[in-house]
């Protein structure tokens, strides 16, 4: 009986140890690589990828004047193909004024309010998704930068990692349990991804529309029946930062299409 208990305890320790094991760099797969051939085909062709409709919208917004400044994004930033190239690969990034990292959406909202003098765009609004999709599109194919190049974000990456490995919700699951350990296994017909944020904002067939990484994280939290955070909450940004660190070097593929 005692021996049995000991074995059980050892098995438990082993299981818990494995829960925090990270995926070796050379075994990482983007969500794209785990897609079926039909979904891949939708994403591959810009003429069939519905995310491109938002990119087109974003391109139009980029040129449109807004707010009391009467300025368009293009007047300061010029041609997005040059000025926004690589930007998505290094966000969330540290923002001195906020004293913490902010994500790309937050950066766009901030630019809109402070530089353009326009009202803030709501999270998950069509305009914000379109502008973000347009900006991220300019980084397609570029590798995600290691956020830890900027040492100011270190505590936030650590906070994100803690959240990622924290069991939560009624199902008592941590992100790491599915996305580090059980990737490539099935969950309701789809392969579980490794959770690399390479394609956001992305067109999800389930949503029938575009959505941000925060919306996706919210989905996962609801899935494990945990408490969600409000859009724009620092917890989401910390999680995104840790996810970018995990995905460092993987190519940006936005706008991605997912089941």
Partner 1 sequence: MSRALISVPPKVKKGQVIEIKTLIQHVMETGFRPNSTGVLIPRDIISAFTCTYNGTEIFRCEMFPAMAANPFLTFHTVATESGTLEFAWSGDNGFSVKESAKIQVE
- Single out the segment in contact with partner 1 by CB under 8 A; choices: 46-54, 93-101, 163-171, 241-249: 46-54
Q: Are strands 257-258 and 202-204 parallel, antiparallel or unpaired?
A: parallel
Site residues (CB under 8 A) for partner 1, limited to 194-213: 205, 208-209
Among 19, 23, 34, 52, binds partner 1 (CB under 8 A): 52
47 near partner 1 (CB under 8 A): yes
Output the CA torsion sign for 125, 131, 132, 137: positive
Q: Residue 71 CB, nearest distance to partner 1 (Å)?
A: 23
- Single out the segment in contact with partner 1 by CB under 8 A; choices: 44-52, 64-72, 106-114, 142-150: 44-52
Distances, alpha carbon 29 to alpha carbons 87, 119, 196, 203, 248, in Å: 22, 39, 8, 19, 12
* Closest of 256, 250, 211, 255 to residue 89, by C-alpha: 250
* 96 alpha carbon, distance to own chain's centre: 22
Specify whether the backbone of 144 is left (phi greater than 0), alpha (psi in -120 to 50) or beta: beta
Q: Residue 99 CB, nearest distance to partner 1 (Å)?
A: 35
- Single out the segment in contact with partner 1 by CB under 8 A; choices: 42-50, 100-108, 116-124, 149-157: 42-50
Positions annotated as catalytic residues are 220
* Sites of contact with partner 1 (CB under 8 A): 42, 45-48, 50, 52-53, 56-57, 205, 208-209
């Amino acid at each position: 009986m005692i021996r049995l208990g000991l074995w059980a305890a050892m098995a438990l320790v082993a299981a818990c140890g494995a829960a925090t094991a990270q995926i070796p760099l050379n075994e990482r797969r983007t969500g794209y690589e785990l897609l079926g051939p039909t979904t891949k085909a939708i994403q591959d062709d810009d003429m069939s990828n519905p995310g491109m409709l938002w990119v087109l919208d974003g391109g139009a917004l980029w040129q449109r004047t807004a707010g009391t400044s009467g300025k368009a994004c293009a007047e300061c930033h010029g041609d997005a193909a040059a000025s926004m190239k690589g930007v998505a690969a290094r966000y969330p990034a540290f923002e001195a004024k906020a004293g913490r990292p902010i994500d790309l959406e937050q950066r766009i909202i901030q630019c809109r309010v402070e530089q353009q003098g326009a009202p803030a765009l709501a999270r998950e609004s069509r305009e914000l998704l379109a502008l973000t999709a347009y900006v991220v599109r300019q980084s397609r194919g570029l590798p995600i930068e290691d956020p830890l190049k900027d040492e100011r974000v270190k505590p936030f990456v650590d906070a994100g990692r803690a959240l990622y490995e924290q069991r939560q919700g009624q199902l008592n699951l941590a992100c790491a349990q599915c996305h580090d350990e059980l990737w490539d296994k099935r969950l309701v017909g789809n392969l579980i991804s490794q959770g690399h944020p390479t394609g956001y904002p992305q067109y999800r067939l389930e949503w029938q529309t575009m959505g941000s990484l925060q919306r996706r994280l919210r989905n996962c939290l609801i899935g494990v029946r945990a408490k969600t955070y409000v859009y724009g909450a620092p917890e989401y940004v910390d999680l995104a930062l840790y996810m970018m660190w995990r995905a460092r070097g993987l190519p940006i593929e936005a706008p991605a299409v997912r089941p």
